[in-house]
Structures are given as C-alpha cells and as structure tokens.
C-alpha cells in the first residue's frame, strides 16, 4: 500500500498541476459550471491535497478489497459507489471497521461471561436467555 | 478454624471483584430515555408495515438487512444480488461505508441518523424501517450485527426487529440500547430521492444527497434537492446544488432562478454568483451575467480565479 502511494503521489500531483495549468491557459467552455461536490469540498481547507488523497484512497480501497477476496468484476462498481469521505475511511481503517456478521467465535470462558451478561440484559448473544 | 471463617469471606470478595470487573467491562447499561418533546409527539406504539423478512445465512446479516430495507423502499433486489456487492469475504462481514454505498447503487439515498433513540423511534413512526448496527457481545469479543428496526412499544418499552434468522424479534429497550450503544448508535434509513428523515440536520442531509448525486447523476437527484430546499429554505448551498442539478438536466431558466435564491440567502457565496453568471450568459442575458460575474470576482476565495477568467471571456465576447 505504501509503495503504491509513493508511486502514485507524484504522478497525481503532476496530473493535477497540469490540469490546472491547462484550465488557465485554454479557457473552459462557457457552459462548464462548478459542481456541487467541488464546491462542497472546496469549503474545506486544503481542497487540492484532499483531492489527491481521495484519488489515492480509492486506488487503495480497490487493492484492499481484492486482497480480502472480493470478486474482481464487482470491485470497480463497489468503490465508485463510495463517497469521498467513505473511501478515505475505508482506505485508512478497513481492518478496524466493525464488520457486521452476526456470529461470534467464542471460547469457553468467554461463553460463560457472555452467558452472565446476557442474563443481566447487557448483551444478546444467546437466544435462549431471553 | 481460621481458614473456615475466612473462606466465605474470600468467596464474597472474589465475587465482588468479578462483579466489579464485569461492570467495568460492560459499562453501565441503563434504559434509554426519550426527550420530553419526542415522548409527547410519538404514538405509544408504531410499526412499519410491509417490511419483507430475509433470514440471514452465515455472516450475511449485512446483505439481508439491505435487502429488507431496499425492498420496502420499492427496489426489487434479491439478497443473492447484494451479497457480492457488499460482503467482504476476508472480513467475513460487511462494513458501514459499503452498506451506504450499496444503497446508492440501487437508487436510494442512505441517511445516517443522529445517534439518538429519539431519531430511531421517530423514523419508525414515520414509516421508515431503520438499519441498525449492534454489537451483540462485549467490546472485547465483538459480535457485530446488522438488524432492521421495524416497530416499538413505548408502554412495554420494547423494540421490534427483523434480525438474523428471526422475524419480528422483540427486544427490551434496555437490552437493545446496550448492544446498539457499542456501535455509537449507528443507524441509517434508505429513502427515495425526494424524501428526508424528519429530524435530519442540514449538513448531514446536504452531504448525503451530494454523495448520492456523485453516483447516480443530476436527474435522479433533482427531487432530493427540491425536497432539501423545502426543508431548509435558508440554505444557500441547497439552492446552489438545486441550480446545478437543473442546469445539468437542461433547465437553464430554473437553474438561474435557483442560483438567484442561493445568493439571496448567502450574498457571499462566490461560487453561486459564478454559476449564476455563466448560466445567464448561456441564456443570452449578457448584462446581468456581467453583474453576477463581477460580484463573483469581488469575493475572495477558492473560485475567484475562475470568476476572473469567466469575466474576461465574457468581455472579449466569446
């Protein structure tokens, strides 16, 4: 992941710099409005650096999802449906995000503790305690 | 002799330590309290009709919860389609950002609710099933679980959920809140563009709709912006977004009207003056276009350079 970032960062910075140069050199077509998303992200500080991070984040999320066994045919569409902020969150902490599954891998000690907390009404692991 | 007297004492002490440990481990669970105004406004009982139940297969409460809420919102998608779209095999589960992203892919807007019991019950009373993330176990051995809250009874202090393999499961408010609090009370509703959750904040709604527009485009999002400015009539950014969506669908007249409302609400919104100027120019209204662009040029900020360039183009007669 680090190497990908190191490799992509300069390229993206270059692309963005060239992009903004061409904007001031060759004028935009008159119909080109500023999009809502661009205006919202510009309201935050450091808009340009954030854009670079967002593009990097998406590449990283894509890599991570493939590593986690997600179907290659699905990865593009899954990443595209994330908002910029969600993409950043996924890239930074996919391992720490809670993954809803509804199953617990329990040891015996854990089993007993959870049984007690279930009876106390603090948890809800075993259906028969209700 | 000594030992025999000590034993019960030691046992009591051990039990005390265990109990204390348990309390520290779990935090203190109390019955959730509603704000007085919410308790007054809500019906004593409410449930959402017609939420189909999909029993989860192993690990797949995420796709199941999504299928239930999307089906209720009028999207005819089976759970089998959702599994490869949201489930992460390596994590044996589904994560929150992708739950929201999948809702967007199916043409509904996911709104994350504020983390309160009030918001949860209010949405149910409005007729929206609510997807909740619970940790059914303890923080040390988490058992993350998505369920769909579909009803409540204030007098019995009980919540009704489609959860796991059980339809219409009844959970006490207290037990539910103990498990829900461990996800910082994360919950969302999936709504048609044009509908908004009742208690949603302006920024939260704005971000949710803008994220949806990025995926589904302006035309699908237009009704959501209309509903947004109806709910938040003083939001300059709301009218700005509405103007952009109208412009993208070819409604220049409507777009310039919305941009005018945007700057009427927020005179310092340079980007709205800029888009107003460009739209008026495209309509052939050069005089007013110039005024709007001049205003945009005068406002410091991110879009000043764009505005200057646009004004120069207008003056050179392109």
| Phi, psi at A104, each rounded to 5° | -120, 135
- In this prediction, residue A16 carries a pLDDT of 52
- Domains in chain B: how many in total? 2
Chain B environment of A51 (Cβ under 8 Å): none
User: Of B125, B157, B191, which closes a domain?
Assistant: B191
Is the CB of A89 inside 8 Å of chain B's CB atoms? yes
CATH number at residue B98: 3.90.70.10
**Does the distance separating the beta carbons of B207 and A36 come in below 8 Å?**
no
User: Of B191, B216, B239, which closes a domain?
Assistant: B191
User: How many Å apart are CA B147 and CA B288, to the nearest integer?
Assistant: 54
Q: Using an 8 Å Cβ cutoff, are B272 and B239 in contact?
A: yes
> Can you read off the two tokens belonging to residue B281?
């120019």
User: How many Å apart are CA B222 and CA B226, to the nearest integer?
Assistant: 6
Verify that B47 and B182 share a domain, yes or no: yes
User: How many Å apart are CA B27 and CA B260, to the nearest integer?
Assistant: 52
Point out which residues pair with B188 in neighbouring strands: B112, B131
The ipTM estimated for the assembled molecules is 0.77
**Does the distance separating the beta carbons of B97 and A32 come in below 8 Å?**
no
Verify that B135 and B248 share a domain, yes or no: no
Is the CB of A47 inside 8 Å of chain B's CB atoms? yes
Is the CB of A91 inside 8 Å of chain B's CB atoms? no
Verify that B258 and B167 share a domain, yes or no: no
Q: For the segment A80-94, what is each residue's pLDDT rounded down to a tens digit?
A: 999 988 998 898 888
CATH number at residue B252: 1.25.40.10
**Domain boundaries along the sequence of chain A:** 2-93, 100-130
What are the residue ranges in chain B where pLDDT is below 70?
Answer: 1-30, 318
Nearest alpha carbon to residue B103 among A99, A126, A82: A82
Within-domain flag for B22: no
Q: Give the number of residues written for chain A.
A: 130
Spell A20-49 as b/e; 16+ CB within 10 A means b: eeeeeeeebebeebbbbbbbbbbeeeeeee
Q: For the segment A18-69, what is each residue's pLDDT rounded down to a tens digit?
A: 444 444 334 444 458 999 988 888 777 566 666 677 777 888 999 999 999 9
User: How many Å apart are CA B269 and CA B295, to the nearest integer?
Assistant: 10
**Does the distance separating the beta carbons of B142 and A124 come in below 8 Å?**
no
User: Of B168, B191, B214, which closes a domain?
Assistant: B191
Verify that B121 and B142 share a domain, yes or no: yes
Q: For the segment B11-42, what is each residue's pLDDT rounded down to a tens digit?
A: 666 666 666 555 555 544 567 788 888 888 89
Verify that B158 and B91 share a domain, yes or no: yes
- In this prediction, residue B42 carries a pLDDT of 93
Within-domain flag for B272: yes
Within-domain flag for B257: yes
Mutation choice for A interface testing from B94, B98, B301 by most A CBs within 10 A: B98
Domain span including residue B106? 36-191
- In this prediction, residue B110 carries a pLDDT of 98
Within-domain flag for B258: yes
> Can you read off the two tokens belonging to residue A100?
């809803």
Within-domain flag for B285: yes
Nearest alpha carbon to residue B87 among B149, B134, B142, B146: B146
Verify that B120 and B184 share a domain, yes or no: yes
Q: Sign of the C-alpha dihedral, residues B254, B260, B262, B268?
A: positive
Contacts of A72 (CB under 8 A, 6+ apart): A66
Distance from the Cα of A82 to chain B's closest Cα (Å) equals: 5
Q: At what angle do helices B270-283 and B286-298 cross, to 10 degrees?
A: 160
User: How many Å apart are CA B272 and CA A49, to the nearest integer?
Assistant: 23
Verify that B183 and B216 share a domain, yes or no: no
- In this prediction, residue B59 carries a pLDDT of 79
Verify that B134 and B206 share a domain, yes or no: no
Verify that B46 and B186 share a domain, yes or no: yes
């Amino acid at each position: 992941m680090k190497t990908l970032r190191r490799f992509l960062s300069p390229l993206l910075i270059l692309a963005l710099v060239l992009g903004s140069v061409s904007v001031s050199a060759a004028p935009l077509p008159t119909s080109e409005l500023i999009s809502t998303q661009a205006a919202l992200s510009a309201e935050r500080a450091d808009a340009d650096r954030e854009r670079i991070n967002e593009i990097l984040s998406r590449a990283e999320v894509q890599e991570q999802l493939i590593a986690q066994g997600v179907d290659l045919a699905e990865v593009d569409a899954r990443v595209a449906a994330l908002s910029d902020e969600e993409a950043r969150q996924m890239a930074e902490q996919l391992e720490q995000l809670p993954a809803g599954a509804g199953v617990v891998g329990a040891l015996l000690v854990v089993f007993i503790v959870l049984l007690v907390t279930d009876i106390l009404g603090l948890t809800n692991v075993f259906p028969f305690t209700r | 002799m000594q030992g025999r007297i000590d034993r019960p004492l030691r046992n009591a002490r051990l039990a005390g330590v265990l109990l204390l440990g348990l309390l520290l481990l779990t935090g203190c669970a109390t019955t959730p309290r509603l704000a007085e105004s919410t308790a007054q406004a809500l019906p004593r009982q409410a449930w959402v009709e017609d939420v189909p139940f999909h029993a989860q297969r192993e690990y797949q409460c995420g796709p199941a919860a999504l299928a239930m809420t999307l089906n209720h919102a009028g999207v005819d998608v089976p759970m089998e389609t959702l599994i490869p779209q949201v489930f992460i095999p390596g994590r044996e589960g589904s994560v929150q950002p992708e739950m929201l992203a999948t809702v967007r892919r199916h043409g509904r807007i996911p709104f994350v609710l504020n983390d309160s019991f009030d918001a949860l019950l209010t949405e149910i009373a409005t007729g929206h099933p609510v997807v909740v993330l619970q940790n059914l176990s303890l923080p040390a051995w988490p058992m993350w679980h998505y369920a769909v809250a579909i009803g409540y009874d204030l007098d019995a202090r009980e919540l009704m959920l489609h959860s796991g393999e059980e339809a219409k499961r009844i959970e006490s408010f207290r037990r539910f809140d103990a498990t829900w609090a461990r996800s910082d009370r994360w919950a969302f509703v999936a709504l048609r563009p044009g509908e908004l959750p009742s208690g949603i904040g302006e920024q939260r709604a704005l971000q949710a709709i803008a994220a949806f527009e990025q995926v589904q485009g302006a035309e699908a999002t237009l009704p959501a912006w209309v509903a947004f400015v109806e709910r938040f009539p003083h939001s300059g950014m709301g009218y700005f977004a509405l103007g952009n969506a109208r412009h993208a669908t070819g409604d220049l007249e409507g777009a310039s009207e919305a941009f005018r409302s945007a700057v009427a609400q927020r005179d310092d919104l340079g980007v709205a003056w800029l888009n107003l100027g460009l739209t008026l120019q495209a309509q052939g209204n050069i005089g007013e276009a110039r005024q709007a662009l001049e205003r945009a040029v005068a406002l410091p900020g991110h879009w000043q350079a764009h505005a200057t360039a646009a004004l120069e183009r207008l003056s050179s007669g392109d």
